[in-house]
Structure 1
Amino acid sequence: MEATEALKIGCQGRGENPYGDGKASVRIVKILEEKWLGKLVFVSEEKPFTRSSSFNRAIDQAKNELIFACDADLDLPENLVEQVNRFVTKKTVWFPVFFNLFEGKTASISMKNGEWFPVSRGMFASTKTQFNKIGKFNEIFVRWGGEDDDLWMRFFKYGFLPIRTRCKGLFHHYHPTNKPADYKPIKIVY
């Protein structure tokens, strides 16, 4: 079985679309159906988008114990399944570090194309049991940012060791951010 066939994509869409005409979800599903070899699950809800709520709903639908959550603006490496299996154990969770591409640059690791993003917000791998034990994504985060740091901190506080490693082939494509001008990251206290 191909590695991509072992993965199931769960998409949690919302009726509100800040980037277009409200039909973007339909276009995304069509593109995924054409390119994705594995199973695709798509659910749309008619309420304002929050990343925390969307990830929680998508993970709630997962039937497998091993989960990997990420945003849609990433290229995933061919060996992703092997890496998730290597880094997620009963005591560890994985927060892969991606290569952040500069505007207009191609997906290859070069300092002229981008840089490693050391904090690697936006994705993690764990077991569903671990994720549920820490209380999932905290849905008090309804604006841009903070939910990833909070999740990482709660994994740590519940006794799971978050592992961060560079993940070759994991590329984040440039796009303008929705980060509010007054955004301040939360401080992680150990």
Structure 2
Amino acid sequence: GFLNVNVSEVSFDEIHRLFSKDLDIEPGGHWRPKDCKPRWKVAVLIPFRNRHEHLPIFFLHLIPMLQKQRLEFAFYVIEQTGTQPFNRAMLFNVGFKEAMKDSVWDCIIFHDVDHLPENDRNYYGCGEMPRHFAAKLDKYMYILPYKEFFGGVSGLTVQQFRKINGFPNAFWGWGGEDDDLWNRVHYAGYNVTRPEGDLGKYKSIPHHHRGEVQFLGRYKLLRYSKERQYIDGLNNLIYTPKILVDRLYTNISVSSSIEDPEGKQVRSQKYQGLDLYLGLDCAILTFINLNYLCNEKYH
């Protein structure tokens, strides 16, 4: 039923103390029910930068809810270091690849850290179609902002996510990556399902985009979603992770510039005054008439 969502700050020490009594929680926040076979094995991926006060609040709400839903689950916090614009979508791809090395998950939840479900009957399993869980956000007056809105919290099976080639890697700065995911899902022949009625209600933890910049190139990229889908995603992801396993989650930290295996910066381009690093091959982009993104040669 309805949850009492409390966005008051709580410390990690308190959270660790609270959940230390639950001996069934394994490192990385991995939990499985003892009294039944779970319907889904769920990896919850959380893209992250500079929101340390949000994580304990998130775990305080999510762990009891997922236990009640009798799901097997673990949490992966993918943290972007460095000063480049935040790349939420690429962090999800990194989280997916690392989580799949960890265990045999079959359902992946892509979850913003500041979104808290208001109803524990919003079931965090996957289905035959990709799922958009956060259909009604308090910051949008509990109204879907537009039909194609796919932000906040979404879920795909491993098979679905691989079929669409994951998220795009080219969205540096906030905005646009969820719309691109919506396009990918539909180009692959899927529809998006949502919880009915009030089940999809979420409360957001108040925050400011602390210095995070909008991605001004998103509309041009979105125009070519279909052409980019199978050259920009899981199949062109390059990263070097640093992994730390906490009691409640696995922290995967990645540097924000895309580098080749020899450590050289692969490519950069100045776009609308931002220095963005694109995980796309400029030759291919030119071929599909996206050369406006490639105004600098490889260094």
Gaps of 5+ in 1: 18-23, 103-112
Paired-residue identity, %? 20
Q: Distance in 1 between matches of 2:132 and 2:200?
A: 15
- Tell me which of 128, 134, 137 is aligned to 2:167: 137
Instruction: Check whether the contact 2:89–2:167 (CA below 8 A) recurs between aligned residues.
Output: yes
Shift of 1:136: 0.8
Shift of 1:153: 0.8
**Secondary structure of residue in 2 paired with 1:40:** strand
Shift of 1:181: 9.4
Gaps of 5+ in 2: 1-32, 65-72, 227-299
Other-structure match for 1:116? 143
Q: Distance in 1 between matches of 2:107 and 2:174?
A: 26
RMSD: 3.6
Instruction: Check whether the contact 1:75–1:169 (CA below 8 A) recurs between aligned residues.
Output: no
Q: Distance in 1 between matches of 2:167 and 2:59?
A: 28
- Tell me which of 65, 83, 96 is aligned to 1:59: 96
1:1-190 alignment, distance < 5 Å:
1=33, 7-14=42-49, 17=50, 24-25=51-52, 27-32=53-58, 36-37=63-64, 39-47=74-82, 48=84, 49-60=86-97, 61-62=99-100, 63=103, 64-76=105-117, 77-81=119-123, 84-85=125-126, 88-89=127-128, 92-102=129-139, 114-117=141-144, 118=146, 119-166=149-196, 168-173=199-204, 175-176=207-208, 180=214, 185=219, 186=222
Comparing both structures, which one devotes a greater share of its residues to strand? 1
Shift of 1:55: 1.2
- Compared with structure 1, are the counterparts of its residues 56 and 30 closer, same or farther at alpha carbon in structure 2 (3 Å cutoff)? same
TM-score (norm 1): 0.65
Code of the aligned partner of 1:147? E
**Residues 13-68 of structure 1: per-residue CA shift (max 9 Å, x gap):** 35xx3xxxxxx43x445555656346433454534431011111222214311112
Code of the aligned partner of 1:148? D
- Compared with structure 1, are the counterparts of its residues 149 and 42 closer, same or farther at alpha carbon in structure 2 (3 Å cutoff)? closer
Instruction: Check whether the contact 2:168–2:177 (CA below 8 A) recurs between aligned residues.
Output: yes
- Compared with structure 1, are the counterparts of its residues 156 and 73 closer, same or farther at alpha carbon in structure 2 (3 Å cutoff)? same
**Residues 163-182 of structure 1: per-residue CA shift (max 9 Å, x gap):** 24555253142544557496
Instruction: Check whether the contact 1:52–1:139 (CA below 8 A) recurs between aligned residues.
Output: yes
Q: Distance in 2 between matches of 1:188 and 1:144?
A: 18
Q: Distance in 1 between matches of 2:217 and 2:150?
A: 17
Q: Which structure is larger by alpha-carbon Rg, 1 or 2? A: 2
